[in-house]
Amino acid sequence: MRAADGSVRPLWAGVAALLDRPGLAGLRSRREDTERLLADEGVAYRPPGADEPQAWRLDPLPLVLDGAEWTGLARGVAQRAELADRLLADLYGPRTVLDRGLLPVELIDGHPGYLHAWRRSVGRPRREVFLAGIELGRGPDGWTVLDDRVQAPSGAGYAMAGRRVVSRALAGLHRRSPIRRLRPFFDAMRTGLPAAAPPGVDEPRIVLLHPGPEAETAYEQALLSSLLGIGLVRGSDLTVRGGRLWQQSLGGLDPVDVVLRRLDAQWCDPLDLRPDSLLGVPGLVEVARVGTVSVLNGLGSEVLENPGLAPYLPQLCRALLGEDLQIPAPQTWWCGDPAGRAHVLARLGELVIAPIARDIAEPVHGAALTAAEREELAARITAEPHLWTGRVPVELSTAPTLAGDATVDLPVSVRAFAVASDTGWEVLDGGLGMVTDADGVLAKDVWIVGEPAPPRPDQTVPSILPATPPLSPRTADDLFWFGRYAERAEATARLLRAVDDRWADVIVSPDGAVLTAMPTLLAAVAAVTGTGPLGRSTDEVAAGLRALVCDRERPGTLAFAVHHTIRTAQAVREQLSTDTWLALGRLESALAGVGEHGERDALDEVVAGLLALWGIVADGLVRDAGWHLLAAGRRIERAQQVVALVRAALVASPRGAAGRLVAETVLIATESVITHRRRHPQDAAAGRGIATVLELLLTDTENPRAVAFQLAGLADDLARLPGRPPAAMGRATQLLATLDVHALSTRSADGTRPALDTALAELATALAELADQVAATHFAVALPPHPFDPLAGTG
């Protein structure tokens, strides 16, 4: 930011002024704004091995780069992407660079990322690199390439997410600064994807293949899918038939022409690559080889994530492109070359030692090793020299970064991105800045300011992408369960709130009726949630009720339902509006606040958050097949919850005032108490039976909490989906139509209502069958692939 004499560089004047003006408190609030915005957007990252996604870490202070300088750098990035594409085309085709001795064979055939199955004996060269990530750093001698990400590079989407947040956290400065836009890069991606389709395909169908919501960068994969308007699929959503690739969708099979892949190559096809992969598509290598589908980047591209190439790239660039390599790498020696090996072994303590492939070992700075470790490393290098490289460490330029109440200058690198559009390479005017602080990697937004972007050829963003990508049975399944879990969370929160209030009455004034009603209510809670008896003593019950709110691990609790609501939402992130995360974030923070504010406030807050969620579902989502499945899940769940509660609470409810209290609690928990009072003002006083309660909750066609109302809505939702309505629908409707609420409300000699019990048991069975049939009709169970390999049939 500052020149050698301490003065602020003109480029950084805006940021410097920002740091001066609001003072330390202002900095803190910038950080808080950033964190809140990231949480609101649900920007997440899951470190390898972590159970849960974590908040993505972003520094509010951008890295500012000069436009004129960037324009030159961007040309170098584009050149490197082109070189990677041409080099791969040669390595998987005629392999002339190996035959001409421009590149040692060990560096390629000895790299685990070189896939012989990807070799192409005949046919036109295919596009090998569509999206390249190139990690840059500025050393004392200018910009250098620190790393190549050419397999399935992540980060461009995060750069966009970071820009959205920083542009709001630093809204004033962002508006005043002439910052180049990121959007044209994503538009270029949209034009480039169809252009990469196999020849002769007019309206290519494109998917983004990813490992699933547990992936490290699942957030970004969903973001890209929505930015590009292409479906996010997993291996189990795809199938190979008749020499081509298909996506399984609710209506059947849709052809796929282009796969933008975020799954590492080895996992893409259990038939021809790793046989133990459950994430891939058997036959994908075959159809890519035949050429009916384009897989981007090419399955063999990992071989170029290879620091050993650095010494050879200048000559390869001249040979393949006829030009000089624009951005150098730090001086690197490949140990497969005897002179290089001797140099590296002699200077082990001064160099950064990196294997040619990432999964062999982490790069280490020789200076950080003990003598014994250095010896061990030297032995590894001597045993398999072709796997190792040594390079001169680079002293990276620094960028101001917020740390507590101050700023610190930290070494910074930038991951730049180039994408093959239909008119050539388009480089993202920005990138993913990265610094490392005590807590790990922190991202920075990268602002290119000053000189405006060079004019681009006119691009018409194609409208060839279907408005709504087909819905896969797996996504349908997740949406259905999203509806179910969210409704379950609401029902559980309302029930716990109603019972909690009664429990509070017991503590404050333990009068007769509420004491008599309490065991029935607690038993109902245990039965409806399926969590087992709450215990007898006051302390046990209080602890049990609290656990029903907070214990995330136990099925049946509120926290469990909320957790699974969020998980299923994460699995279908690309289907949901970004506001959804505001509402879901509220649920999480409500539960996290139980310790501080008590569970009663948390329950109110959860109900409010769910109401917000339903508002977004009602107003923010188009009525496509996915929406109807979400609605269907919610309706079935609500019907089941009501049936379970009525059965658990009213079959064996006590007589008299206590019984009325139980019935009223059921009405409160089902949000129907006001309607009931308005319709039957004299009921409570007159001590009439529960017929009116049963009518309102079971057979009423106007109360949205009633089973009959939900079944009618469910029939409408299912009618909008392909396939025949499930048989259990008719059975449930018929059962409901024949219910006689007066007969059901009468008690037998032992004081219980056996007819009600039987009728509700039948209804519960019909609803469970209905749920199963919806699942069987619409969500094909993805079977896991099993490898088979003959026993040694050899002599």
Partner 1 sequence: MSPITYTITHRTRYWYDADVRTSFGRAHLLPVAEPGQPQADGEVVVDPAPDEQRDHVDAFGNRSTYFAVRAPHRELTVLARSTVVVDRVPPPLPDRPWDEVRDELRTRPERTWVLPSPRLPALPRVAEYAAPSFPPGRPIGEAVADLCSRIHADFRYASGATSVASTLTDLLTGGEGVCQDFAHLAVAALRSVGLAARYVSGYLETSPPPGMPKLRGADASHAWVSAWTGAGWLDADPTNDAPVGPSYVVLARGRDYSDVPPLRGVLFSDRATVSRMAVEVDVDRNSG
Residues lying near partner 1 in the complex (CB under 8 A) = 98-99, 101, 105-106, 109-110, 116-117, 119, 121, 240-243, 270-272, 275, 282-283, 286, 289-290, 383-384, 386, 781, 783-795
Q: How far is the CB of 307 from partner 1 (least distance, A)?
A: 18
- Taking every pair of Cα atoms in the chain, the longest distance, rounded to a whole number of angstroms, is 101
Q: Which is nearer to partner 1, 91 or 435 (CB)?
A: 91
Q: Which is nearer to partner 1, 457 or 793 (CB)?
A: 793
Q: Which is nearer to partner 1, 115 or 694 (CB)?
A: 115
Q: Which is nearer to partner 1, 92 or 186 (CB)?
A: 92
Q: Which is nearer to partner 1, 107 or 465 (CB)?
A: 107
Q: Quickly count: other Cβ atoms within 10 Å of residue 25's Cβ.
A: 9
CA–CA separation, 567 and 11 (whole Å): 43
Query: How many alpha carbons fall within 13 Å on the CB side of residue 149?
Result: 19
Burial tier of 202 (Cβ tally within 10 Å: 0-12, 13-18, 19+): exposed
**Which phi and psi angles does 207 have, rounded to 5°?**
-130, 160
Q: Which is nearer to partner 1, 55 or 781 (CB)?
A: 781
Q: Which is nearer to partner 1, 290 or 406 (CB)?
A: 290
Q: Using an 8 Å Cβ cutoff, are 194 and 464 in contact? A: yes
CA–CA separation, 629 and 546 (whole Å): 33
CA–CA separation, 11 and 297 (whole Å): 36
Q: Which is nearer to partner 1, 93 or 462 (CB)?
A: 93
Q: How far is the CB of 92 from partner 1 (least distance, A)?
A: 9
Q: Using an 8 Å Cβ cutoff, are 413 and 396 in contact? A: yes
Paired tokens of 234? 């997993």
297 prior amide bond cis, ω within 30: yes
Q: How far is the CB of 318 from partner 1 (least distance, A)?
A: 21
Residue ranges with strand state E in 102-212: 131-139, 142-149, 206-209
Q: How far is the CB of 497 from partner 1 (least distance, A)?
A: 42
Collapsing DSSP to helix, strand or coil, 682 comes out as coil
Paired tokens of 477? 């399944």
Q: How far is the CB of 718 from partner 1 (least distance, A)?
A: 26
Write the CB contacts of 765 (distance below 8 Å, at least 6 apart in sequence). none
Q: How far is the CB of 621 from partner 1 (least distance, A)?
A: 33
Burial tier of 414 (Cβ tally within 10 Å: 0-12, 13-18, 19+): buried
Checking DSSP bridges between strand 294-296 and strand 413-421, what pairing results, if any?
Answer: unpaired
Q: Quickly count: other Cβ atoms within 10 Å of residue 359's Cβ.
A: 10
Q: How far is the CB of 793 from partner 1 (least distance, A)?
A: 4
Q: Which is nearer to partner 1, 162 or 270 (CB)?
A: 270
CA–CA separation, 130 and 195 (whole Å): 10
Checking DSSP bridges between strand 54-55 and strand 44-45, what pairing results, if any?
Answer: antiparallel
Q: Which is nearer to partner 1, 109 or 147 (CB)?
A: 109
Q: How far is the CB of 105 from partner 1 (least distance, A)?
A: 5
Q: Using an 8 Å Cβ cutoff, are 517 and 661 in contact? A: yes
Q: Which is nearer to partner 1, 369 or 780 (CB)?
A: 780
CA–CA separation, 228 and 458 (whole Å): 19
Q: How far is the CB of 787 from partner 1 (least distance, A)?
A: 6
Q: How far is the CB of 548 from partner 1 (least distance, A)?
A: 36
Q: Quickly count: other Cβ atoms within 10 Å of residue 168's Cβ.
A: 15
Q: Which is nearer to partner 1, 123 or 704 (CB)?
A: 123
Q: How far is the CB of 87 from partner 1 (least distance, A)?
A: 17
Q: Quickly count: other Cβ atoms within 10 Å of residue 552's Cβ.
A: 13
Q: Using an 8 Å Cβ cutoff, are 44 and 27 in contact? A: no
Q: Please give the C-alpha separations between residue 286 and each of 123, 241, 473, 788, in angstroms, as whole numbers.
A: 14, 11, 24, 18
Q: How far is the CB of 552 from partner 1 (least distance, A)?
A: 31
